[in-house]
A and B are shown apart, each in its own frame.
Chain A
Amino acid sequence: MRCGMFRSSALRSTLFSLFVVLGIFATIGGCGGKKHTASTAPVSTPPAAAVQPTVTLNASPTTVNPGASVTLTWSSANATDLSIDPSIGKVATEGSTPVTPTESTTYMITANGPGGTATATARVTVTGGAAVAPPTSGTPAGISELFAQNVRDAFFDFNKADIRADAREALTKDAEFLRTYPTVHITIEGHCDERGSTEYNLGLGARRAQAAKNYLTSLGISADRIDTVSWGKERPFCQESTEECWQQNRRGHFVMAK
């Protein structure tokens, strides 16, 4: 727990509102005094030095690959000294600065002023692989390499076609890639482990591929960019009869269409 950190945001916003209200009354009081001079005593403005600081912090973009640059932008009011952690330190009351995080990081800005302390955070997620540069037009050369590096398969439980948490994560990133490269079409192959009926596994593979496709279309990817086929248990990725290998084979495998 860092010193001076104002943890309770609810309390902070209540106090903030209170001071805003008082500030407004102070302003109104100052301007509207003439109307009420006949029957009320003049309202004195509260001292400005007691206003709670405010600060905002933004990161753009919020998801990058290692080595890519992120711009942090902040602004504040009623603050005199500000610093950003980690690794940036003292900054001006407003501004921006580039950062190159090597792993996912939550940046925090602390703004101190005579009226108190305020903080804000911004999270940057760093995923594996080379930097993905948004294209200016069309499909860039090297798209196959980008596809291989960025598009992940979705894995399934035994006898199931449900999208698990880890598959959701992979498919969400795959959808981001497909949004970035709108001309890419894919085939999702459904695969099964070696156990059980050839015929049922052809069906289960189809069901897995369809489940992955449905998840992508729910994230806004157009269905006509996605074909599905089942390979059942006919094209395994490994041959051993172990739990580990069986899990490797239970997947929706992404292939870029030519």
Chain B
Amino acid sequence: MKAKMNSRGTMRRFAILAGVAAILLFGSARPAAAQDWFKTGTGLGVSKVRVAVPELGVRAATAPALEKTFHDVLWNDLDYSGVLELVSPSFYPAKTPTQPSELNAADWANAPVNANMLAYGNLSAEGTNLAVAGFLSDVHNPTAPIALQKIYRGAATDADARRLAHQFADDIIGRLSGGLPGVSQTQIAFVSSRSGNKEVWVMDYDGGNQHQLTHLKSVALTPRWSPDATRIAFTCFVPYRGVVSPQICLYSTVSNHMIAFPRFRGTNSSPAWSPEGTQLAFMSSQNGDSEIYVCDADGSHLQRITFAAGVSTSPVWNPKTGKQIVFVSDRAGDPVLYLANSDGTNVQRLDMPDMGYVVDPSWSPNGQLLTFCWRRPSGNFDIYVMDIVSRQLVELTRDEGRNERPSWAPDGRHIVFESTRTGTRQIWSMLADGSRPRQLTYEGQNESPSWSSR
């Protein structure tokens, strides 16, 4: 836990953390083989697998720069996964294997390395082609079948060296985390102002390969990936009956074109996908008051589901069941979170232990946790996680600029968010316990991140 604790809140915070940890330890009904990372993340003393990742061998005419890129990306992916502990290269022996026949397991199993696993291999470039042989060995059981061996193929370019490294990393994480997927090949959609207008951009989850998707030269906001990662729904400012107004826009990342969607009177914003990707929920003021509507992904069968004075917005579906939504409403004063069935019935307020302004909810992939932004009466905007059943809370950021608009990663282990801690608004990611915050964007103002499922 990164957060500083003042003496006043310390006892209570420890109690909450212990409570959340206990809930997560005993509350999740998952087979023992698939370890829940979140338990590890709250510091319950479960030791992580120690992996050594030496530089790879360079065969034939491979440019050394490609190996460096591959190794840097691989190292970063494994290190940031949250489930592995990487052994510092300063402990590595002088002789590094580039294939299993060269492996001396004792070198890596014994002190000072004390590794459990070794990830290694070699790159060979032939003309414009690149092939990477990747291996993962259990150095305590070298005679057992090798954990992973695979050839990764692509172009002999920097971009492909990154791509192949991400693949190798995900394969390793998959093997060592008991089956929960890595996010090394996922992407983050976000809004950037760096082109002069707010447009939808996309980048790799580690901040690489940032590129512009939309060119509307207007204002684009609140992008959200569809569950199958083929479409992005967002808020766009476009004309409707002669008035430029907020509307729901859809972009296909398969065809790289906008997809048609109906426009409505008033203000229409904050689209969110159902878990099957067949429906959208969004805020619309087409009938006067700002309420939540649900429709099919093509805009048909529009149905209003909230009926209260004030603003109802930021709907998000439970990604596991699709049967509930959480949304933001100021019907009782300040905006706070409400839980309801996905048809709008059975609305319950999510009570918080303090006053303030609670916005921008995002569900964890297992449907058990919510992350959101809370501006308490003390004034700052910070990111919290709440267990939806027990309603217990953990604070993830504190005293470092304004931290807003969190979005959960598909592995349940990472959260991406906006932060102003450097003085400008940028996209940051962190582990879902608040540790390891990492800046992803640097140019222009960047906001509104959404993490793809794949």
Interface residues of A (CB under 8 A from B): 159, 187, 190, 196-200, 202-207, 209-210, 227-232, 234, 257-258
Q: How many residues of B contact A (CB 8 A)?
A: 41
Considering the chains assembled together, what is the distance between the CA atoms of A197 and B267 in angstroms? Answer: 16
Q: Is the pair A200, B328 in contact by a Cβ cutoff of 8 Å?
A: yes
A202 & B246 in contact (Cβ 8 Å cutoff): yes
- B:275-305 near A, CB below 8 Å: 283, 285, 288-290
User: Are B313 and A199 touching (Cβ within 8 A)?
Assistant: yes
Task: Say yes or no: A202 contacts B328, CB within 8 Å.
Answer: no
Residues of B within 8 A of A187 (CB): 243
| One of A196, A199, A229 near B222 (C-beta < 8 A) | A199
B residues in contact with A234, CB < 8 Å: 198, 219, 221, 237
Contact across chains for B373 and A206 when beta carbons are under 8 A apart: no
Which residues of chain B are near A232, meaning CB under 8 Å? 221, 246, 269
Q: A206-B290, A257-B243 are in contact. Are A200 and B310 (CB under 8 A)?
A: no
Return the contact of A230 from the options B222, B267, B288, B360 (Cβ within 8 A).
B267
Q: Which 4 A-B pairs have the closest CB atoms?
A: A203-B311, A197-B359, A206-B267, A230-B267
A159: B residues at CB distance < 8 A? 330, 334, 357
Known: A199-B314, A206-B311, A234-B198. A229 touches B267 (CB 8 A): yes
12 contacts between A and B (CB under 8 A): A159-B330, A159-B334, A190-B267, A196-B359, A197-B314, A197-B360, A197-B404, A198-B447, A205-B267, A207-B290, A210-B288, A257-B243
B314 adjacent to A230 (CB under 8 Å)? no
Report A196 CB to chain B, min CB distance, Å: 7
Q: In the bound complex, what is the Cα–Cα distance between A227 and B243 (angstroms)?
A: 8
CB atoms of B245 and A198 under 8 A apart? no
Cβ of A203: which chain B residues have Cβ within 8 Å of it? 267, 269, 283, 285, 290, 311-313, 328, 330
Query: B266 in the interface, Cβ–Cβ < 8 Å?
Result: yes
Interface of A is mostly: mixed
Docked pose: A197 CA to B357 CA in angstroms? 10
Contact A206 B314 (CB under 8 A): no
Quick one: which of B310, B373, B381 contacts A207, CB cutoff 8 A? B310
A202, B222: Cα distance in complex, Å? 11
Q: How far is the CB of A203 from chain B (nearest CB, A)?
A: 3
Most interface-central of B244, B290, B313 (chain A CB within 10 A): B290
Is B448's beta carbon under 8 Å from chain A?
yes
Is the C-beta of B82 less than 8 angstroms from some C-beta in chain A?
Answer: no
Besides the known contacts A204-B311, A207-B310, A230-B267, 18 further A-B residue pairs in the complex with CB atoms under 8 A apart = A187-B243, A190-B267, A196-B359, A197-B405, A198-B221, A199-B314, A199-B359, A200-B328, A200-B357, A202-B267, A203-B312, A203-B328, A206-B311, A207-B289, A207-B311, A228-B266, A231-B237, A231-B246
- In this assembly, does B50 line the interface, its C-beta being within 8 Å of a C-beta of chain A? no
C-beta contact mask, B377-396 vs A, less than 8 Å → 1, else 0? 00001000000000000000
- Least CB distance from B357 to A in Å reads 7
Whole-angstrom CA separation of A199 from B373 in the bound complex = 12
